[in-house]
Structure 1
Amino acid sequence: MNKIGFNVLAWSAVVSDELLPIIDRLKGIGYDGMECLIGSPDKVAYQRIGEHVRSLGMEATCVFVVGKDENPISEDAAVRLKGLDRIKWAIDRAHDMQAKVVCGPFHSAHAIFAHHAPQEQEYGWGAEVLHAAGEYAAQADITLALEALNRFECYLCNTMEQLSRLLKAADHPNVRAMFDTHHANIEEKKVAGAIQTITPLLAHVHISENDRGTPGDGHVNFDEAFSALANINYTGWLTIEAFSRNDPDFANSIGVWREYSRPWDIAEDGFKFIKQMCQKHGLDEQVSVNHAL
């Protein structure tokens, strides 16, 4: 059964009690889950948020990134080990929340580039780290859903073809893939073909507009995306990831320099849009009716 989620990065990158009223309102709109960034150091905050989410009958998923000093594809083995340790830390925080999915581009350091195209050795290093991370995630029954990013944020995996190559090399059932409509809109020739390529490994989907505003307000070909997901009988999360300048530090770190849509407009209109697209393309019977309960 598909479930609809919303990433609270539209308000804050910090996991704290300030998210509680936001989660409450998301529940009121009809969302089945919330997604948050794993990065805040307060371990107890993850437990509190997880408990609150469950008390509402919702679920949590998480997104995560790594930086230069913990790069899983660094030529320095010590840095790669730091990357694995950091991923394990993120898995622990997700476990604190009782989340079952940790998604994101943590196959390599975000926005750190080499002076060459991705190399075979780098895929090998990344696969080795991800396999070990998968072993750790399996103990907590957590799926790692790796993400391909556009060329301005990553050089290792821009497409589903590249991501599939990496994950097949990682060769672990808990190491799978995420598809993000924003990045695919930039990098893929055809959305349907990209989804078909990643189908055997697909575990999570981000619904995100070309400008990171309200899904359906831009030019992403959502008809093609939802049709392709229906054709492969996709039953995972459909989670909106949109950004704003509500959290200036986070916004500055990812190049968000203007408001695309107001966060609550994104949440309310985006939920309606996903429901409409699911009904139009035959996913409506799979989507949770949590909002009607």
Structure 2
Amino acid sequence: MTKIGFNVLAWSAVVSDEIMPIADRLKTIGYDGIECFLGSPDSAAYKRVGEHLRSIDMEATCVFVVGKDESPISDIAAARAKGLDRIKWAIDRAHDMQSKIVCGPFHSAHAVFAHHAPQDQEYSWCAEVLRAAGEYAAQADITLCLEALNRFESYLCNTMGQLSRLVKAVDHPNVKAMFDTHHANIEEKGFTDAIQTIAPYLAHVHISENDRGTPGDGHIDFDEVFSALASINYSGWLTIEAFSRNDPDFANSIGVWREYSKPWDIAEKGFQLIKQMCQKHGLDKQVGVSPSL
């Protein structure tokens, strides 16, 4: 069943008890779950937040990145091994939260570039690491959803064509793909072709405006996005990912230098946009909200 989520990175990159009242308010808006960044080391906090979500009938999905010294495409075997260990750590934290999804660009180090285009050997190294990660994720019934990023944040996977190649090479049922409208707006020729390309592997979607503010306030063609998702009978999460400077350390790390929209405005207006688009394009029959909303 298609569900609507909101990434709490708009408030904080740290999983802590402070997320609980945010989840409570998102629940009143109508959200089915929240998405959290896996980075903070306190495993007990993940369990507490997961238990709280369960108590209010919400779910969690998770997003995750790897750094330079733990990249699955490193030419140093020890770094690739460290990358696998780090992904396993993320799977453990997602399991603590009772999440079934870990998404993100952990196929390679975020914002780390080489002086060459992506190479066949890098895809092979990456596939080997992610296949092992998929085996580990399967034990917890977790799906790893790889993300293509724009050219300013990654060089291995910018398009759905490249991402399809990687997921196909991994060849594991617990390793799939996600689609992010913000990155696709930069890298793809059109949303329809991109979504149809990734359709065999698609398991998660980020609804993000071109400026990372409120979905519907920018120039992303959400009519095309939702029409394409309906055409492939997509039934996974529709999760808003928008950013702010509420968490300065995180904002600085991803180049967020100004406020785009107030987080609660994003949450309220973004939810309305998703409902309207789902109803318009026939996805409302699968969305976990009342048809009368």
1:5 maps to a residue whose letter is G
Matches within 5 A, 1:57-68: 57-68=57-68
Which residue is 1:85 aligned to? 85
User: 1:284: Cα distance to partner?
Assistant: 1.0
Which residue is 2:212 aligned to? 212
**1:31, 1:291 within 8 Å by CA — same for their partners in 2?**
no
Which residue is 2:180 aligned to? 180
1:260 maps to a residue whose letter is Y
**2:118, 2:156 within 8 Å by CA — same for their partners in 1?**
yes
User: 1:269: Cα distance to partner?
Assistant: 0.4
Looking at structure 2, the residues matched to 173 and 291 of structure 1 have their Cα atoms a distance apart, in angstroms, of 33
Which residue is 1:16 aligned to? 16
User: 1:290: Cα distance to partner?
Assistant: 6.2
Which residue is 1:48 aligned to? 48
Which residue is 2:224 aligned to? 224
Looking at structure 2, the residues matched to 102 and 82 of structure 1 have their Cα atoms a distance apart, in angstroms, of 18
| Structure 1 residue 202 corresponds to structure 2 residue 207 | no
Which residue is 1:150 aligned to? 150
User: 1:292: Cα distance to partner?
Assistant: 7.6
Looking at structure 2, the residues matched to 100 and 123 of structure 1 have their Cα atoms a distance apart, in angstroms, of 25
1:189 maps to a residue whose letter is K
String of CA shifts for 1:131-184, please: whole Å, max 9, x gaps: 000000000000000000000000000000000001100110000000000000
1:160 maps to a residue whose letter is M
| Structure 1 residue 112 corresponds to structure 2 residue 112 | yes
Looking at structure 1, the residues matched to 285 and 257 of structure 2 have their Cα atoms a distance apart, in angstroms, of 39
Looking at structure 1, the residues matched to 3 and 183 of structure 2 have their Cα atoms a distance apart, in angstroms, of 21
Looking at structure 2, the residues matched to 205 and 134 of structure 1 have their Cα atoms a distance apart, in angstroms, of 19
Looking at structure 2, the residues matched to 63 and 240 of structure 1 have their Cα atoms a distance apart, in angstroms, of 12
User: 1:253: Cα distance to partner?
Assistant: 0.2
User: 1:221: Cα distance to partner?
Assistant: 1.1
Which residue is 1:246 aligned to? 246
2:202 maps to a residue whose letter is L
How many residues matched? Answer: 293
2:143 maps to a residue whose letter is T
The TM-score, its normalising length taken from structure 2, stands at 0.99
**2:212, 2:260 within 8 Å by CA — same for their partners in 1?**
yes
User: 1:9: Cα distance to partner?
Assistant: 0.1
Looking at structure 2, the residues matched to 133 and 109 of structure 1 have their Cα atoms a distance apart, in angstroms, of 16
Q: Percent of aligned positions with the same letter in both sequences?
A: 82
The unaligned stretches of length 5 or more in structure 1 are none
| Structure 1 residue 122 corresponds to structure 2 residue 111 | no
Looking at structure 2, the residues matched to 76 and 291 of structure 1 have their Cα atoms a distance apart, in angstroms, of 53
The TM-score, its normalising length taken from structure 1, stands at 0.99
Looking at structure 2, the residues matched to 292 and 135 of structure 1 have their Cα atoms a distance apart, in angstroms, of 42
Which residue is 2:69 aligned to? 69
**1:105, 1:149 within 8 Å by CA — same for their partners in 2?**
yes
**2:284, 2:291 within 8 Å by CA — same for their partners in 1?**
no
**2:205, 2:239 within 8 Å by CA — same for their partners in 1?**
yes
Looking at structure 2, the residues matched to 280 and 292 of structure 1 have their Cα atoms a distance apart, in angstroms, of 14
Looking at structure 2, the residues matched to 270 and 227 of structure 1 have their Cα atoms a distance apart, in angstroms, of 17
Where has structure 1 moved over 3 Å in runs of 4 or more?
A: 290-293
Looking at structure 2, the residues matched to 23 and 69 of structure 1 have their Cα atoms a distance apart, in angstroms, of 33
